[in-house]
Amino acid sequence: MVRVIYNERFALLTDYPFERLRALLEGITPPPSPPVVMSIGEPQHPPPPFVRDLLDASSALWGRYPPMNGTPEFRVAATDWLTRRFALPAGFLDPDRHVLPVAGTREALYLIAHLVVPRRKGSARPTVLIPNPFYQVYVGAAVMAGAEPVYVPSGRQSGFLPDFTLFDPKILQRTPYDPDTLNRTALAFLCTPANPQGSVADLEYLKQAITLARRYDFVLAVDECYSEIYDSIPPPGVLHACADLGGDLTNVVVFHSLSKRSSVPGLRSGFVAGDPDIIAAFARLRAYGGAATPLPVMAAATALWQDEVHVAENRTLYRAKMTAAERLLGGRFGLCRPAGTFFLWLKVGDGEATARALFQKAGIRVLPGAYLARPDSTGVNPGRHYIRVALVHDLDTTVWALERLRDILG
Ligand SMILES: Cc1ncc(COP(=O)(O)O)c(C=O)c1O
């Protein structure tokens, strides 16, 4: 019998967190009411009506193969948005050299590793630095690109952001990391606001990360897809940090998405911006393995990047839910109102047992934190005591679910 021979790296991928959750909840019968899915960060707020109008109005364009680098209008809209939002100097970004549309940032975060991870860095196997906990795609990207994933502690002591100071040669001696880790690093992922903890990197942190990337010649991939879901202060962006450091974009790429900002996860639209050499190479790679964004989607996406009204309304809805969460759960489960994202990262004891109990007793699906993390150097999974709860439903549903969660967890 002929058998398929798989890429050996494929066996190193663990099941996707939602698949693991499905297995965890298998055999449990929830109450008859429809389940409330708070495991996946899929915004349920209605997108602005002009999205549907624009899709309808441009329906003739479904008959055309879309260009890989999108339309000039989209690139200009994205560039103008970045310039406004991150207070970049006029002309800092060139729409044709610095911005590339992608069919959702997940694909782009995966592909970037295939672009910038070489077979060897120096004479060693390359590493990819990944926050721990993380957005799972970073791990799949590193593994499938042949790199060694290095999980960087991102706990309380470093503000729930990757603690790059651990790689200081003096400190590194006292850690289990290979002293050569940074020299071997080809790529580092950073997520701000961070999924799952909601922490935000300040400008100083971003500048230090950029400086480190340049000193050790690795690519800093900054996932800012939650940048518009913030509580009170707009999170700074890595492009602003580049501008502050003199304007050079070398080694830096940033990922932005409409999925969360505009509540259109099904539109599959985002963009990558930054180092023009990487953007040009990325465009070449995507010509082979990427999905071009359909032209009607481009038209809707262009209009979404030009509009801030719906984004502000969206934030107001999330703020109301965070306020409700504070009122209902405040002072418990280590809840501190996140600076960004729509996630609650709750310390509940046993994350898996809690996820099962919530599903069984109330039909509420949440994600055990352990599925978003890997054991640290002492063998302990930093997410094991946590659950991640996505506040993606309307206020009433959210309040109902949080009341049930509070009552069930006691
Ligand atoms: C941290 C993070 N990055 C990227 C993505 C991908 O978003 P999209 O592919 O919809 O742009 C997600 C989606 O959940 C996410 O949580």
Nearest CA to ligand 1 atom 14: 41
Q: CB of 321 closer than 6 A to ligand 1?
A: no
Q: How far apart are the first and last CA of the chain?
A: 56
52-307: CATH topology is Aspartate Aminotransferase; domain 2 (3.40.640)
Q: CB of 223 closer than 6 A to ligand 1?
A: yes
pLDDT of amino acid 384: 97
For 256-278, the DSSP string reads EEHHHHSS-GGG--EEEEE-HHH
8-46+310-409 is classed CATH 1.10.390.10:
no
Q: Which atom of ligand 1 is nearest to the CA of 223?
A: 3
Q: How far apart are CA 143 and CA 253, in angstroms?
A: 20
14 pLDDT higher than 90: no
CA of 97 to the centre of ligand 1 (A): 24
Q: How far apart are CA 340 and CA 153, in angstroms?
A: 20
Closest CA to 253 of 52, 382, 105: 105
Task: Give the confidence band of 117 by pLDDT, cuts at 50, 70, 90.
Answer: very high
Share of the chain above pLDDT 70, in %: 100
Q: CB of 41 closer than 6 A to ligand 1?
A: yes
Contact criterion met (CB below 8 Å) for 168 and 202: no
Q: What is the pLDDT of residues 303-330, one digit of tens each?
A: 999 999 999 999 999 999 999 999 999 8
pTM across the whole model? 0.97
Q: CB of 106 closer than 6 A to ligand 1?
A: yes
CA of 106 to the centre of ligand 1 (A): 5
Side-chain half-sphere CA neighbours of 345 within 13 A = 25
pLDDT of amino acid 377: 79
Q: CB of 131 closer than 6 A to ligand 1?
A: no
For 332-361, the DSSP string reads STT----SBSSEEEEE-S-HHHHHHHHHHH
Amino acid at 194: A
For residue 54 the two structure tokens come to 């624009």
Side-chain half-sphere CA neighbours of 81 within 13 A = 26
pLDDT of amino acid 378: 82
Nearest CA to ligand 1 atom 5: 106
Return the DSSP state at 175.
S
Nearest CA to ligand 1 atom 6: 106
Q: Choose which residue among 18, 37, 40, 105 to substitute to test ligand 1 binding: the one with the highest number of ligand atoms within 8 A of its C-beta.
A: 105
Burial of 2 (0-12, 13-18, 19+ CB in 10 A): exposed
Average pLDDT over residues 181-203: 97
pLDDT of amino acid 250: 98
CA distances from 377 to 151, 167, 174 (A): 9, 14, 12
Q: CB of 257 closer than 6 A to ligand 1?
A: yes
Q: CB of 135 closer than 6 A to ligand 1?
A: yes
Q: CB of 191 closer than 6 A to ligand 1?
A: yes
Domain residue spans of the chain: 8-46+310-409, 52-307
* Cα angle value 25/29/348 (rounded, 5°): 50
Average pLDDT over residues 80-94: 97
Q: What is the pLDDT of residues 218-247, one digit of tens each?
A: 999 999 999 999 999 999 999 999 999 999
Share of the chain above pLDDT 90, in %: 90
Q: CB of 195 closer than 6 A to ligand 1?
A: yes
Q: How far apart are CA 328 and CA 349, in angstroms?
A: 19
Q: CB of 198 closer than 6 A to ligand 1?
A: no
Give the residue ranges of DSSP H helices in 69-136.
72-85, 95-98, 105-116
Average pLDDT over residues 119-128: 94
CA of 136 to the centre of ligand 1 (A): 10
